[in-house]
Amino acid sequence: MSKEYLYIGHYIDVNNKYVLKVGTTDNPKRRQKQHNRYYPNADKHPMKQGTTFQYDWKHKLSHANTLKYETLIKEDIKAAEVAEYVAHDRFVFEKKPDKIYLQIRKTWEVEL
């Protein structure tokens, strides 16, 4: 059974808002390059010039579990109503949160 990464990452948009991304990938370096090519030209909340997408946390899980936990994390953030949800699994915060908590078998505290 192949393993994939569940990840939390971020970038700063053109209005200096903190954009948190929840996603999955089998190749973090390739995926980071894709984000750095796509988000500067995104329709909503494009990346600020001179900045890059950065990973804050990643954890290797089975493919099925990455999808399951990705969905649960997104639902939890939406339910908390602490950020605006936008396309491509992004959450826009007015200011950078200090940390978030993820529940995956145990509680993970992710410093942002």
Q: What are phi and psi of 25, to 5 degrees?
A: -165, 155
Per-residue pLDDT reduced to its tens digit, 46-90: 999 999 999 999 999 999 999 999 999 999 999 999 999 998 899
Per-residue pLDDT reduced to its tens digit, 15-56: 999 999 999 999 999 999 999 999 999 999 999 999 999 999
Query: Is 104 a residue whose pLDDT tops 90?
Result: no
Instruction: Say what the pLDDT of residue 1 is.
Output: 63
Residues 103, 38: Cα–Cα separation, whole Å: 29
Tokens (6 digits) for 88:
């491509």
**Beta-carbon contacts of residue 21 (< 8 Å; ≥ 6 apart):** 7, 8, 9, 10, 11, 35, 53, 88, 89, 90, 91
| Cross-strand partners of 85 | 91
Q: HSE-up of 107 (CA within 13 Å, CB side)?
A: 4
Instruction: Say what the pLDDT of residue 109 is.
Output: 80
Instruction: Say what the pLDDT of residue 87 is.
Output: 87
**Could you say which DSSP state residue 14 is in?**
T
